[in-house]
Amino acid sequence: MKRITDKRIKEPSTHFRLLPDGKVLHDIWEKLEQGAWKNLAPEVFENNVKLGELNRFKSLPVIENFLPVSPGMLWDENKKCLTDPFFKPQLQNVGINDFLNAVEFFFNTFKGKHIGIHLSGGLDSSIIIALLKHFNIPFSLVGMTSTRYEFRTEKYIQELLAPWGNETFLIDYEEYLPLSKLEKVPPHQHPEMLSMNYNTSRAMALECQRMGIDVLFTGNGGDNVFAEPVSANPDACTWLPQIFMDNWLDDFAYAPYGIEVASFYADPSIMNTIYNLRLGKGEDNSKLWARQFFKDYLPKELVNYTYCADFWGLYIDGLQDNSPTVRMLFEQAYDLTGNAYFSPQKTNELLNQDLLNANKSMYQKIESRISLATWLNSLIEK
């Protein structure tokens, strides 16, 4: 197995630590070429996925003793392990003007660049769009759209906000479902769940490039800053801005096309102001506070509305449509590794379940295995 050097994509967002001492490795390409990929622990990867983003610091190595380190994670030299430090807010008396000042400062750091925003039709990205409009900053809009019933509100909001952009382009989600074109995922050093969304994000990146967009703002992180409880004690803050970004997709899908992805809600000043504005407030899954706070900027449909679509339908159809590729990737992984985890029997056990059942733990197992097989496939010289 050889990597394709000329097609290898830089991964600035990731480096590695070699356990047990924690020696820094900027990449592990050489180790992979020497066969480190054979010492794969698929069950460990599956367990890491189950731990979730919030507990990713507890993840164990999947390939030999190489532990991937994502941006924002720190190495504890005493305990010889990774940590994910929480955001440390500063208590301040703030109001709407302080928030607008923080936002204007953030936008000004991108002065002279062609700004794009991910037009998802949801609340979080719509707030950014509304604020850019408030400051008369020109922008373009690009997003995935779906005619599926559950996305009817998102689609309506997309249509409502589309005229606000200098140029707007909506991509049909059905053409770029999750798990599509897995065989095209570029060589990457470590298995990654986000590889299942590579084709979708690449379609977005290509459209951004065509529109001349330099920097793309996403609404990622809105779920955290608007919905999670805000303790009156700033030391109890559990926000992790480093997980607001999908760094892997930024490196692999966007950066190769010259698109910088920026997280509005991970900006420290914006986060700090929202923290103080929501100080002492409890969990707010419907984001009622944000809807009221931004009511003068948003379309009324977003102010009064408190629901959002789930993505189960897209994932289930994505798996159904791409199951021949998935089976091929599993067979190939079994040929390469000889690991029983990818055996035909295990594949049948996994894929002969009722895949129409939106069961999270079942899908976590399926998606873990797909990510592993996709990673192995990406390393093969073609």
In whole angstroms, the minimum distance from the beta carbon of 362 to other proteins comes to 12
| Residue among 53, 172, 301, 335 that touches other proteins (CB under 8 A) | 301
| Residue among 258, 323, 357, 380 that touches other proteins (CB under 8 A) | 357
**Torsion angle of the four alpha carbons 136, 139, 144, 150, in this order, in degrees rounded to the nearest 10:** 0
Binders of other proteins in range 18-57 (CB under 8 A): none
**Nearer to other proteins among residue 60 and residue 356 (C-beta):** 356
| Residue among 1, 54, 356, 380 that touches other proteins (CB under 8 A) | 356
DSSP string of 306-332, one letter each residue: -----SHHHHHHHHHHTHHHHHHHHHH
**Nearer to other proteins among residue 236 and residue 356 (C-beta):** 356
Binders of other proteins in range 65-104 (CB under 8 A): none
| Residue among 306, 323, 340, 349 that touches other proteins (CB under 8 A) | 306
Binders of other proteins in range 136-195 (CB under 8 A): 149-150, 152-153, 156-157
In whole angstroms, the minimum distance from the beta carbon of 153 to other proteins comes to 5
Between the alpha carbon of residue 319 and those of residues 175, 325, 348, 358, 359, the distances in Å are: 14, 10, 14, 12, 13
**Nearer to other proteins among residue 302 and residue 372 (C-beta):** 302
Q: Tell me the two tokens of residue 238.
A: 């559990």
In whole angstroms, the minimum distance from the beta carbon of 3 to other proteins comes to 37
Contacts of 303 (CB under 8 A, 6+ apart): 291, 292, 294, 295
**Does residue 292 belong to the site contacting other proteins (CB under 8 A)?**
no
In whole angstroms, the minimum distance from the beta carbon of 158 to other proteins comes to 13
| Residue among 4, 74, 236, 358 that touches other proteins (CB under 8 A) | 358
**Nearer to other proteins among residue 204 and residue 302 (C-beta):** 302
**Does residue 317 belong to the site contacting other proteins (CB under 8 A)?**
yes
Dist. CA 44–CA 260, nearest whole Å: 32
DSSP string of 65-134, one letter each residue: TEEEE-TT-EEETTTTEEE-PPP--------HHHHHHHHHHHHHTTTTS-EEEE--SSHHHHHHHHHHHH
In whole angstroms, the minimum distance from the beta carbon of 156 to other proteins comes to 7
In whole angstroms, the minimum distance from the beta carbon of 317 to other proteins comes to 6
Dist. CA 365–CA 8, nearest whole Å: 28
In whole angstroms, the minimum distance from the beta carbon of 301 to other proteins comes to 4
| Residue among 29, 86, 257, 305 that touches other proteins (CB under 8 A) | 305
Dist. CA 147–CA 135, nearest whole Å: 32
What's the helix, strand, coil split of the chain in %, to 5?
50, 10, 35
In whole angstroms, the minimum distance from the beta carbon of 310 to other proteins comes to 5
* Angle of helix 268-277 versus helix 96-108 axis, rounded to 10: 170
* Site of interaction with other proteins (CB under 8 A): 149-150, 152-153, 156-157, 285-286, 301-302, 304-310, 312-313, 316-317, 320, 356-358
